[in-house]
Amino acid sequence: MVATTSSVSFGTAQWPHADDQPVSRTVGFENFGSAAVPLDLVGSLKNGAAAGVLTLSADRLTVPAGGTASVQVTSHTMHAGPDGLYTGKLTATTGNQQVAVPLVADKEVESYDVAVTVLGTDGKPLPADRAYVGLVNVDTLEAGDPGRVAKGKYGLDVTAFGANGEHYRMVQPELTISRDSKLFVDLRKAKPVKVTVPRADAGTFVVFFGYELTNRTGDKALTFNLQPQGEKLFLGRMGRPVSGDRFQSFVASYVGKLAADGTLTDTPYVYGLVDTRRGQFFDGLQRRIFTDRQLAHVVARYKGSGESDWALVGRRPGVDTLPIAASVKLPATVHQYLEPRTDWQQMLGEIQNEPRQYKAGTTTYETLTTP
């Protein structure tokens, strides 16, 4: 004897629950034997220690020889128990044999309809394939989408793309959801990111940009995007600032002499810059280096023969991105101009130096040698 129903979901009963209707599902059993089988049926649903309300159309069922039989299982969510997810099982017992069918019912917690419309630079709503909206619960750090959203406080994060490769990101560190809401995000309020260094032939290789959330218990969630062409990046802040220990945003920019294919292959220099904001996201960024002495000068000497890849990454608490890398013919020297108070890690092929900080206005020599 087997259950022909593998599991049962009663779906979600939307909050509030004063008008919830019972939801019934059919659970079937099949008897492959030559004699009828009587089944004793018991079902239950629980949310922690709290019991839900589950009824069966029968507590005893006989499955004929070589045949099938079924029972109606009904979930009732209009009860005084707590809102949330209820799980349990329907157990069918005959003699020493027992078959269990998992059950689940969602008595939705207090929730509201949330719609977010992203307006492009022409003031018109962007199509869904060019705008991506996320909500992050600031207490649990769980990510979700607009639609049906549980009451609470959320970070609102919007990434969008223009028709000519423009990249937009607008972030609100905290948004309270306590009623049905229709929100509008206007990309025209985002401002450009511009990084200038004292090199006429310099170009932006890549910009990383993101933020780290910290909840009240100290758990953290970090997210970042990247944009290869920095001149097409636009950032915008929304809403009020929050406590600096709860939200930190960052922009990490890498600038060098770009090859024809947009890489840093054979560049004689590279700039690594890190900017942060506490309590709020960036409202664009204008970063200008007037003189190299504002930064730490690192002379990276790569030794060996043939070709290899050097790599570099700068990290801080709340700032973590991918390394940048470039091909190089060995031996070679690359002059690096790096942000102070940042842990920089140097790499060449499989060789990795320990991260370290460099002081502004000083020159340090780093040597990495391939086997």
Question: Is it the case that residue 101 has pLDDT exceeding 80?
Answer: yes
For tokens 């049962």, the residue is 8
Does pLDDT of 371 surpass 90? no
SS (H, E, C) 59-127: CEEEECCCCEEEEEEEEECCCCCCCEEEEEEEEEEECCEEEEEEEEEEECCCEEEEEEEEECCCCCECC
Q: Give residue-wise pLDDT tens across range 254-268.
A: 999 999 999 999 999
The model's confidence at residue 1, banded by pLDDT at 50, 70 and 90, is: confident
**How many CB atoms are located within 10 Å of the residue 87 CB?**
14
Sign of the alpha-carbon torsion through 288, 290, 292, 293:
negative
Mean pLDDT estimate for the chain: 97
In sequence order, the β-bridge partners of residue 57 are none
Residue 49 has pLDDT above 90, yes or no: no
Q: Using one digit for the tens of pLDDT, what is the confidence trace for 271-317?
A: 999 999 999 999 999 999 999 999 999 999 999 999 999 999 999 99
Confidence (pLDDT) at 230:
85
User: For 141-164, what is each residue's pLDDT tens digit?
Assistant: 999 999 999 999 999 999 999 989
Mean pLDDT, range 110-117, rounded to an integer: 98
d(CA 194, CA 192): 6
Cβ pair 250, 318 in contact under 8 A: yes
Phi and psi angles of residue 178, each rounded to the nearest 5 degrees, phi first: -140, 10
Q: pLDDT tens-digit profile of 166-218? A: 999 999 999 999 999 999 999 999 999 999 999 999 999 999 999 999 999 99
Residue 229, pLDDT score: 77
pLDDT of 293: 97
Domains of the chain in sequence order: 2-107 (2.60.40.2310), 112-369 (no CATH)
Name the residue among 286, 236, 262, 272 with its Cα closest to residue 355: 272
User: pLDDT confidence of 237, banded at 50, 70, 90?
Assistant: very high
Residue 53: predicted pLDDT: 93
212 is written with which tokens? Answer: 């780290």
Q: What does the angle CA 238 – CA 122 – CA 144 come to, to the nearest 5 degrees?
A: 40
pLDDT average, residue stretch 335-357:
97
Rounded CA separation 246/32 (Å): 61
Summarize pLDDT for 85-99 with one digit per residue, the tens.
Answer: 999 999 999 999 999
Q: How far apart are CA 185 and CA 363, in angstroms?
A: 45
* Edge-to-edge order in the sheet of strand 324-329: 324-329, 307-315, 343-348, 351-352
The whole-number pLDDT of residue 244 equals: 97
Question: CB count, 10 Å around CB of 364?
Answer: 15
